[in-house]
Amino acid sequence: MINELQLNQRINAAKNLQKNASGKAQAAGNQLPEGQIAYILKGYPRLSEVFITNEIHLLERQGMKLQLFVIKKENEPKTHPVVAKIKAPMHILPKMTSLTNTPFGRWCRENMPAYIAAHRKVVVRRPLRYLKTLTKAVWMCFRYRSETTGKPKKVFFKEFLQAGFVANGLLEAGNVTHLHAHFCHGSTTVAMLASKLTDIPYSFTAHAKDIYLPALNPGDLLQKKIDGAKFVVTCTGANRIHLQKLNRFGTPIFAIRHGLDIGHFAPIRSNENGQKPLILAVGRFVKKKGFEHLVSACKTLKDRGVAFRCHIVGEADAEKPVIANMLKSFELEEDVLLKDAVTQAELRDLYQRADIFALPCQVVENGDRDGIPNVLAEAMAMEMPVVSTPISGIPELVTNGEDGLLVPQRDPVALADALENLLRDGKLRQEIGNAGRRKILRMFDSDVTTEMLKEVFLASMSS
């Protein structure tokens, strides 16, 4: 296991690079490893996960050699331009049918033919490891039974099949020396099992829902993933504290933020003369974003006679019809517009036209929550005053009253008060916006955060 002090020293050295004259991280001078890193991704490329595509691109730009193993190739109508810049070869796993309400025997007949050839090759190359890993996967099916039915969880056999496909690709490539998964549920299970099949070490990045929803890592499964990992990365200090409580054997766990291209998100205002001030909110239409409270706050603003417009932009999900019904009920359909997801280039244009950014995040009943929403940091980089809530890692980004405003979660009246203060006070908007930009320059420069992540990989791969 890598010495945590060593990694901390290397990360601190990377942080110190921020102090050079240009404010940009320069190459650390460490010799890059000959081996490659295989990224295991549940879905790729996703509009809502631009932080992953940015990370891959920036690591490549700093000289790291990567391969991508994609469990599900996404076919969204739009993709971020950065996807086209990524050079890493992409291996797409065969598509699988749903396990839900499908008899296991029938499911196996439908899906195993696409995987059997890869598994045969792994059996020939690693017979003992294959037998041990298959036994482990079956044990997991019974160890982490469904809490509702008491039946074995078949998903672990599904992930074993996927791990075998990945393992065969790794063994045939012969030049991959480290595995890394994003999100600590399904993709990390695949990485863990592929690691057992190949003896290639793995690590993972944990984010938000994947950490806090027990159903995604039942029992002590997340602890076991931490136990077996070479290291763990997460995007907030709050997440790191939570994960450390599960850390039984001293696995290094590092909080490395999702960095921003601070040149791309530059503060250029696009004045819309004669228009009411624009409140912008961006995120998937899911409960944890708190959009229902923003709509209620907008109703309060309208009742108070405050002039405003509001645009809520994001991928359609379960909450979108709920929000649409609220707008109709509150007669806000002309004041609050719901818009589809956009690329980062399009999002930057929206930031330029907006006056205030609002994201009233909340912890929902099942424990799901955000970490540090990237859109909050992007808005701050654009010198836009932000209004959010003091949950999870958000207070690490926003200091209330200095570089943003924080209101209690699920409190639309307090949210309306904060928005009204900003809408009525242009000087306050400017002061908070300027302070937010300064914080992003200090803490979220992607050149620095990528250098930090690279140092972790280098230390791991050289040990």
Element housing 338 (H / E)? strand 336-339
| Region 218-228 average pLDDT | 98
Give residue 80's pLDDT: 85
What per-residue string of b and e applies to 335-373 under the rule 16 or more CB within 10 Å gives b? Answer: bbebeebbbbeebbebbbebbbbbbbbbbbeeebbbbbb
Residues 434 and 455 in one domain: no
How many C-beta atoms lie closer than 10 Å to residue 73's C-beta? 13
Residues 63 and 101 in one domain: yes
Give residue 16's pLDDT: 61
Residues 308 and 236 in one domain: no
Q: Is pLDDT of 245 > 80?
A: yes
Q: Is pLDDT of 29 > 60?
A: no
Rg (CA), the chain: 23
Residue 265 maps to a domain: no
Residue 339's SS3 state is: strand
What is the DSSP code string of 373-421?
-HHHHHHHHTT--EEE---TTHHHH--BTTTBEE--TT-HHHHHHHHHH
Contacts of 224 (CB under 8 A, 6+ apart): 192
Residues 283 and 148 in one domain: no
Residues 247 and 282 in one domain: no
Residue 273 maps to a domain: no
| Region 224-250 average pLDDT | 97
Domain boundaries, position 395: 278-443
Residues 301 and 209 in one domain: no
Contact 47, 67 (CB under 8 A): no
Domain count, the chain: 2
450 band by pLDDT with thresholds 50, 70 and 90? very high
Contacts of 12 (CB under 8 A, 6+ apart): none
CATH of the domain at 185: 3.40.50.2000
